Amino acid sequence: MNHIKPLSLSSTLPAPRVHTGLIYNGMPARELGSEGWHKPWSGGNGGNCLEAMKLDDGRIAVRQSTDPDGPALIYTSAEITAFIEGAKAGEADFLLS
Protein backbone atom coordinates (compact mmCIF):
# COMPACT_ATOMS: atom_id res chain seq x y z
CA MET A 1 0.00 0.00 0.00
CA ASN A 2 1.30 3.44 -0.92
CA HIS A 3 1.38 5.78 2.05
CA ILE A 4 1.56 9.42 1.08
CA LYS A 5 2.50 11.82 3.79
CA PRO A 6 0.15 14.83 3.73
CA LEU A 7 1.81 17.97 2.45
CA SER A 8 1.87 20.87 4.85
CA LEU A 9 0.97 24.09 3.09
CA SER A 10 1.37 26.11 6.26
CA SER A 11 5.01 26.83 5.48
CA THR A 12 4.22 28.39 2.09
CA LEU A 13 0.82 29.96 2.64
CA PRO A 14 -0.38 32.37 5.30
CA ALA A 15 -3.14 31.71 7.79
CA PRO A 16 -6.56 31.32 6.17
CA ARG A 17 -8.45 34.46 5.19
CA VAL A 18 -12.09 35.12 5.87
CA HIS A 19 -14.16 35.75 2.72
CA THR A 20 -17.74 36.79 2.35
CA GLY A 21 -20.07 35.32 -0.23
CA LEU A 22 -20.07 32.07 -2.14
CA ILE A 23 -16.68 30.69 -3.20
CA TYR A 24 -16.83 28.49 -6.28
CA ASN A 25 -14.53 27.02 -8.92
CA GLY A 26 -14.01 29.45 -11.80
CA MET A 27 -15.11 32.53 -9.87
CA PRO A 28 -13.34 35.81 -10.69
CA ALA A 29 -10.16 35.80 -8.60
CA ARG A 30 -10.61 39.52 -7.86
CA GLU A 31 -13.64 38.58 -5.72
CA LEU A 32 -11.24 36.82 -3.34
CA GLY A 33 -9.35 40.09 -2.83
CA SER A 34 -5.82 41.13 -3.65
CA GLU A 35 -4.27 40.27 -0.27
CA GLY A 36 -3.02 36.81 0.62
CA TRP A 37 -1.93 35.55 -2.81
CA HIS A 38 1.51 33.92 -2.86
CA LYS A 39 3.75 32.42 -5.50
CA PRO A 40 4.78 29.12 -3.87
CA TRP A 41 6.92 28.35 -6.90
CA SER A 42 8.40 30.62 -9.53
CA GLY A 43 10.99 30.38 -12.20
CA GLY A 44 12.74 32.26 -14.95
CA ASN A 45 9.68 32.28 -17.16
CA GLY A 46 9.10 36.01 -17.45
CA GLY A 47 6.69 36.27 -14.53
CA ASN A 48 4.16 33.70 -15.75
CA CYS A 49 3.52 32.03 -12.41
CA LEU A 50 0.71 30.48 -10.48
CA GLU A 51 -0.40 32.16 -7.29
CA ALA A 52 -2.12 30.35 -4.45
CA MET A 53 -4.24 31.44 -1.49
CA LYS A 54 -5.42 29.32 1.43
CA LEU A 55 -9.10 29.95 2.07
CA ASP A 56 -10.79 30.04 5.47
CA ASP A 57 -12.39 26.61 4.92
CA GLY A 58 -9.03 24.96 4.12
CA ARG A 59 -9.45 24.91 0.35
CA ILE A 60 -6.80 26.40 -1.92
CA ALA A 61 -7.48 29.00 -4.63
CA VAL A 62 -5.09 29.12 -7.60
CA ARG A 63 -4.87 31.87 -10.24
CA GLN A 64 -2.56 32.91 -13.06
CA SER A 65 -0.30 35.75 -11.90
CA THR A 66 -0.50 37.55 -15.24
CA ASP A 67 -4.33 37.56 -15.06
CA PRO A 68 -5.22 38.38 -11.44
CA ASP A 69 -8.80 39.23 -12.45
CA GLY A 70 -9.24 35.94 -14.31
CA PRO A 71 -10.77 32.76 -12.93
CA ALA A 72 -9.72 31.20 -9.64
CA LEU A 73 -9.56 27.43 -9.55
CA ILE A 74 -10.60 26.10 -6.16
CA TYR A 75 -9.12 22.82 -4.88
CA THR A 76 -9.44 20.90 -1.65
CA SER A 77 -6.34 20.41 0.45
CA ALA A 78 -6.43 16.70 -0.47
CA GLU A 79 -6.49 17.53 -4.19
CA ILE A 80 -3.50 19.87 -3.90
CA THR A 81 -1.64 17.30 -1.80
CA ALA A 82 -2.30 14.56 -4.36
CA PHE A 83 -1.13 16.79 -7.23
CA ILE A 84 2.07 17.92 -5.51
CA GLU A 85 2.94 14.44 -4.26
CA GLY A 86 2.23 13.01 -7.73
CA ALA A 87 4.42 15.67 -9.35
CA LYS A 88 7.22 14.86 -6.90
CA ALA A 89 6.89 11.20 -7.86
CA GLY A 90 7.23 12.04 -11.57
CA GLU A 91 3.59 11.46 -12.47
CA ALA A 92 3.35 14.87 -14.18
CA ASP A 93 6.61 14.61 -16.15
CA PHE A 94 4.61 14.16 -19.36
CA LEU A 95 3.68 17.85 -19.08
CA LEU A 96 7.32 18.79 -19.61
CA SER A 97 7.85 17.01 -22.92
Residue 7, pLDDT above cutoff 70: no
pLDDT at 11 over 70: no
Instruction: Tell me the pLDDT tens digit for each residue of 43-93.
Output: 666 667 889 999 999 999 999 988 999 999 999 999 999 999 999 999 999
- pLDDT one-digit tens code per residue, 13-28: 554 454 557 999 999 9
pLDDT score at 2? 46
Short-list 1, 3, 45, 36, CA closest to 17: 36
The confidence score (pLDDT) of residue 78 equals 97
18 Cβ neighbours under 8 A, 6+ residues apart? 56
Q: Which pTM value belongs to this model? A: 0.72
- Locate the domains of the chain by residue range: 27-92
